[in-house]
């Protein structure tokens, strides 16, 4: 078992990431958290489910408890981006990296998310490639923090591209946390798959949504816990 883990880790570290790192570190903006939200846009996501997912993120961001959680931090600001993904070649950054410090910042982010048309319509579920994209985006943005988190939602397990454990190994090597939001539906084993193969890193956790109608509640709970940090407990409530 240990030999297999070392093989996966060495393989992951030998893989090129989607973007090359900058030659020299630029002056970066200090924030409490860099959080990239990565939502499943694969062919299994029907249009009505896509709308529930988008609106779930937007409504969760509008929640007063989310902005209160941001203000709770030492610097009172975070960096946030939103990506939709499917197969190895399909990733779209729907909302670019944005500093969130005020209610107006987060409302503007949520509005851009709501207004942007769907760009990923098909493709398989490439969890490993999605995680690698998140790692690269975190490494190359203009922010710096003590906590970097990939927030990955999906309604299925690996069906295309790199295995999730390969992407996770690259994230862990860079002290990036991967949290999971499995949309369980008719497959209760998906939560177990996420816990064993997807999540990892300091304070990593998994919050399941049992269907797309439950998505907003799960996202809100997850966002608040991610923003506040694993050393603090905040309950979002239903």
- pLDDT tens series, the chain, 238 aa: 434 444 444 444 445 444 444 434 568 999 999 999 999 877 677 778 888 888 889 999 989 999 999 998 999 999 999 999 887 777 888 999 999 999 999 999 999 998 887 765 566 788 999 999 999 999 999 999 999 999 999 988 888 789 999 999 999 999 999 999 999 887 889 999 999 999 999 999 999 998 777 888 999 999 999 998 854 433 333 2
Q: What is the pLDDT of residue 23?
A: 34
CATH fold of the domain at 35-228 = Rossmann fold (3.40.50)
Q: What is the pLDDT of residue 122?
A: 63
Q: What is the pLDDT of residue 22?
A: 47
Q: What is the pLDDT of residue 119?
A: 67
Closest residue by Cα to residue 200 from 177, 222, 230: 177
Q: Which two tokens stand for residue 168?
A: 């996770």
CA distance 153 to 40: 6
Closest residue by Cα to residue 179 from 144, 203, 210, 214: 203
Q: What is the pLDDT of residue 108?
A: 95
What is the model's pTM? 0.85
Where exactly are the structural domains of the chain?
35-228
Determine which helix (DSSP H) or strand (DSSP E) holds 54, and give its type and residue range: helix 47-62
R_g (Cα) of the chain, nearest Å: 17
């Amino acid at each position: 078992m240990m030999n297999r883990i070392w093989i996966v880790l060495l393989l992951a570290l030998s893989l090129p990431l989607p973007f090359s790192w900058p030659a020299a570190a630029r002056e970066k903006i200090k924030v409490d958290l860099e959080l990239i939200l990565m939502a499943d846009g694969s062919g299994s996501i029907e249009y009505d489910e896509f709308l529930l997912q988008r609106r779930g993120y937007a409504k969760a961001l509008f929640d007063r408890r989310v902005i209160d959680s941001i203000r709770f931090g030492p610097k009172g600001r975070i960096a946030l981006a939103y990506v939709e993904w499917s197969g190895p070649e399909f990733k779209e950054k729907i909302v670019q990296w944005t500093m969130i410090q005020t209610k107006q910042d987060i409302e503007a982010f949520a509005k851009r998310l709501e207004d942007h048309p769907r760009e990923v319509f098909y493709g398989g579920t490439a969890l490993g490639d999605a995680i690698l994209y998140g790692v690269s985006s975190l490494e190359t943005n203009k922010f710096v923090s003590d906590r970097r988190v990939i927030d990955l939602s999906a309604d299925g397990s690996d069906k295309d591209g790199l295995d999730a454990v390969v992407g996770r190994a690259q994230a862990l090597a860079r002290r990036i946390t991967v949290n999971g939001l499995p949309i369980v539906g008719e497959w209760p084993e998906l939560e177990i798959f996420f816990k064993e193969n997807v999540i990892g890193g300091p304070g990593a956790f998994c919050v399941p949504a049992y269907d797309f109608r439950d998505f907003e509640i799960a996202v809100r709970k997850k966002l608040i816990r991610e923003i506040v940090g694993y050393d603090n407990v905040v309950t979002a409530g239903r």
